[in-house]
Chains A and B, each alone.
Chain A
Amino acid sequence: MKIVLFVEGGRQAPAMLFEQCAEWGVDLRRISLANTDWQDQLQDAFGIMLMLPVWGGNAYLSSVALWQQYLQAEAPKARLVMASFQSDFQHSNHLDILRLSDYHATWWDDCQTVDHMEELPPLIGVDLSEKLKRFFAGHGQDSIVAVLSRIRLVVQMASRELQKMDTPYEEIFQDLVAPAELGLKWREWRNRWINYYPLFEYTPIAANLKQIAKLTDGVEPWMAAGGVDEAPLCDGSILQILNEVRVQLQQIENQYVVQKLSHTYR
């Protein structure tokens, strides 16, 4: 049996798709992207099948380009199979769900591996690779990294003052933290995060984003209060969390955003 990992993408695939795949000798396995277990399964898999377009954030989304990039780097010999209701989707790796009986078991042997996959036709749905680029390098309004970098810079400076210069926190707060309006900046970050986070639930970066969401929840009360509390700054926990978020973001950008355009990480 060929093992194919299946990303249902916020929709319900017909049972017939699984039955038909089994007839073809394909074991279609639903995977959850909230953790990284699926990455281990991928090593033994024939490929990944996406049900397209994906439904998320109240819109239909196209996650194909992101998956293609991921597989090119991590499993170039895997097949990226696309199942949809789109009749004019002309591609060797596309499966028309309404015409399953037109395909044969041999179709799978002709599926192209990611490293030799022909160009994708235009797909309906919000292009998530474009969204991700804007996530990192958008013009002012969109760049989430720029906002986070501004916050981190203030926290880093305040931490240094507190830990290395022994400056009293009242002074640091008055001169540095309060004027920086961290509460406002944090709200700005949250507002931008709302625009992006739900869109990437069915992409290979879902687990990274979930981790970032978890991390940022941890600093939320301190930020919302405008950084009044000295303790988390003193023990370094706030800066540590922001550093971890930065590492996660850098990993995503290095892997998926081909041209490095983002606001500089500081």
Chain B
Amino acid sequence: MRKSRTIVIVWSWNRSGIGEGEWKVSGSSHEQDLVVCLDLLASPAAIGELKAVLEEHSRDGGEVMLFLHRHHGYFQEHLKPLIHLPLDDSHGLIRCFLFGEGADEIYLTSNARGLLGTSGTFSAKVLFEGQQVGLSAVANAERRELKVAHFDHVWRMYRQALRRRIYELKEDLLSCLSQALPTSVFEPGEVYRILNKAENRTLLLRLLSFVGRIRKHSDLAREIRTFERNNNRTLTFDDCGIQLETAHGQLAAEQHAVLAAYILRNLLARGGEVSLLELREKFEELLLQISGLTYHS
């Protein structure tokens, strides 16, 4: 039998939405799949409750994805105890993500195959080329069933989220720096001058997030969230090292640390010269450690 897949979403279900509870996924081959809706503000008690939920749904190899809404008070520090739950090997993989402000792939407003609508629901109205279009992830409201395509899409998107985000950072960074070709080796501080230009602001913020230099509630954190909202794209790397270690092993975390140190020292400061070939190699070595496809077709 296929292992269960559970998506736990801590969001504003109660205030004006459909309330807390469990939703199944339509279709006979998806009996094991579940979406658990919780509305818990961040607190030690809430973390305790979430640990229990994760433990329960990860039994017998079941995989769990936990989504924590930032506006409920969750931030990176909350992820650590949840990802590092001391569970035996019979438990499946647990992945945790922060989301919020309508900019992540889990929202229908960002992604037509998302799950979350507006105000605690699974449906939303979006504008497409000037036309208002209704989107819904609900297959059958009476039976509390969600559409398979939406569940699968969100599952796939987030399972490969980090690999994809790192790959996109690599491509965008090389696109930006290759404009200086034939220069492929930059003097110390030269790359930072390029990244500091107004048109490269988003890229600079993504790099800062990748190396863990954006503090919660800071101006930079607010700024990158605004970019995310405006572009309907997740750009942040919340606790990238821990996420990589949990999902892809120690080597992936180490490779991330190597690349992050290189970026911090040479791209974001006047440490040493930057070679585009070396930079690419470090990205590729990290991506080699992250299994799975970058995109699903």
Contact = CB atoms under 8 A, between A and B. Distances in A.
A230 interface: no
B16 interface: no
A14 B194 CA distance: 15
**Residue among A87, A98, A125, A220 with max Cβ neighbours from chain B (10 Å):** A98
A14 B177 CA distance: 9
B133 interface: yes
A115 interface: no
Contact of A60 (B180, B182, B281, B295): B295
B168 A60 contact: yes
Contact of B178 (A14, A125, A142): A14
Interface string A53-81: 10000111000000000000000000000
A101 B284 contact: no
Contact of B181 (A11, A100, A128, A130): A100
Interface in A72-94: 85, 87-88
Contacts of B197: none
Given A126-B295, A195-B112, A195-B113, A60 B171 contact: yes
A97 B297 CA distance: 25
Interface in A184-208: 187, 190-191, 194-195
Interface string A97-113: 11111000000000000
A165 interface: no
B277 interface: yes
Given A15-B179, A88-B284, A98 B113 contact: no
A14 B181 contact: yes
A125 B280 contact: no
Interface in A202-260: 213, 220
A87 B280 contact: yes
A11 B174 CA distance: 11
Contact of A191 (B112, B168, B175, B280): B112
B297 A130 contact: yes
B233 interface: yes
A194 B284 contact: no
Given A126-B296, A191-B135, A98 B284 contact: no
Contacts of B134: 187, 191
A2 interface: no
Interface residues of A, number: 34
A213 B131 CA distance: 12
Contacts of B135: 191
**Residue among A85, A127, A130, A142 with max Cβ neighbours from chain B (10 Å):** A85
B181 A131 contact: no
Given A59-B295, A131-B297, A220 B131 contact: yes
Interface string B110-150: 00110000000000001011010111000000000001110
Given A59-B295, A195-B113, A16 B182 contact: yes
Nearest to B170: A85
Given A191-B135, A194-B128, A195-B113, A125 B295 contact: yes
A66 to B, nearest CB: 12
A124 interface: yes
Contacts of A264: none
Nearest to A139: B149
Given A58-B233, A190-B131, A191-B112, 8 more contacts: A14-B181, A16-B181, A16-B182, A85-B174, A97-B174, A98-B178, A98-B184, A187-B134
13 contacts: A58-B232, A58-B233, A85-B174, A87-B281, A88-B284, A124-B294, A126-B297, A130-B297, A141-B147, A141-B149, A190-B133, A194-B133, A195-B112
